[in-house]
Amino acid sequence: MVIKCKAAVAWEVDKPLSIEEVEVAPPKAHEVRVKIVATGICGTDDHVLKGSIPNIDYPIIPGHEGAGIVESIGEGVTCVKPGDKVIPLCLPQCGECSFCLNPDTNCCLKTHLHESQNLMPDKTSRFTCKGKAIHHFLWISTFSEYTVMPDSAIARIDDDAPLDKVCLFGCGFSTGYGAAINTAKVKPGSTCAIFGLGGVGLSVVVGCKSAGASRIIGIDINKDKFTKARELGATECINPQDFKKPIQEVLLEMTGHGVDYSFEVVGHTDTMVAALVSCHMGSGTCVLVGTPPLGSQLSFDPLLLFTGRTWKGCLIGGWKTKDSIPKLVSGYMEKKFNPDVLITHTLPFDKINEGFELLQSGKSIRTVLVF
């Protein structure tokens, strides 16, 4: 049956989210309806509000970093059952496409970057508000108390997992941690630089420390983030505004010949190039983690790559999500890592716009909303 619940709707670009009563239709074949218990606010959701994510249609219910409990399943669903604790996957893993069958990529062909996820696979919506169909975001729309997604975009997790903590594994922590572990493959004893110390950047710090990096340099224009960065493993923190010269020159002086691994977790083209320049000219690896602005273009000297640098992209930490997210949650339950410290604010869902204000002002690392 149809469920009525509260959701945050972005009716148009550059407007605050509106808390509305929405109608959520039952799941169709190979779909799952989930009661969201907690959801994080990620910078990508802010990009949705600002209209800087490609191929997004409005009105839309954003949100992609959630955790919840299966309410009902459609015909043919075998991976979860009602009552299971789950994490919706903003990057699906269908298990059938050529990309899923390729061990060297996690970019399933059902991703929004390949084919729009504004509607369910049958090109209809499960959300209605005031008689109008509302678009989905990345198929999962976690800013709704109930939401529907394909069974390729959901992963069952430990029954004992605290949903208000492990929701971060839906995007932020998994992305940053995996950027260091999977994409860069940070080696013990190496030197790393992380541009941007938000929730994802701090998760990169955790990954670098876990991989055994001996020197981890955190970079941010907000000094308030340095204490948390050091707590998580950064050995040094620097503010580009404290120097008269470009930050890449500062890093080259600090390290001699550049860092072994650099990570751009801001999403700005100028810091992307700075991160590339800052890594070792003969063997450095630069990983792009931050989401770039819509329509942006890079301009750089190709000789930067000619000498041996490697420039790589990273999507959700390189994890094949359906296989890996449950294992990461199990690792959390075994206390192998503790992303809880990334959560600086927990708010009731109705205060979602306050959560976005905290993000935009740099006063929060991660805000988690609870229904």
Instruction: Give the CA count within 13 Å in the CB-facing half-sphere of 334.
Output: 7
Q: Under a CB-based contact definition with an 8 Å cutoff, are residues 369 and 349 in contact? A: yes
Place of tokens 């420039």: 311
Structure tokens at 44: 């990508």
Structure tokens at 179: 């950027």
Give, for all 371 residues of the chain, the pLDDT tens digit: 999 999 999 999 999 999 999 999 999 999 999 999 999 999 999 999 998 888 899 999 999 999 999 999 999 999 999 999 999 999 999 999 999 999 999 999 998 888 888 999 999 999 999 999 999 999 999 999 999 999 999 999 999 999 999 999 999 999 999 999 999 999 999 999 999 999 999 999 999 999 999 999 999 999 999 999 999 999 999 999 999 999 999 999 999 999 999 999 999 999 999 999 999 999 999 999 998 877 888 999 999 999 999 999 999 999 999 999 999 999 999 999 889 999 999 999 999 999 999 999 989 999 999 99
User: CA 353 to CA 78: how far, in whole Å?
Assistant: 37
User: CA 168 to CA 319: how far, in whole Å?
Assistant: 14
Kind plus residue range of the DSSP H or E element containing 22: strand 18-24
pTM, two decimals, is 0.95
Tell me the three state secondary structure of residue 106: coil
Place of tokens 């273009």: 297
Instruction: Find all residues with CB under 8 Å of 203, minimum gap 6, and list them.
Output: 172, 173, 174, 175, 176, 177, 179, 339, 342
**Residue-by-residue DSSP string for 41-56:** --HHHHHHHHT-STT-
pLDDT of residue 37: 98
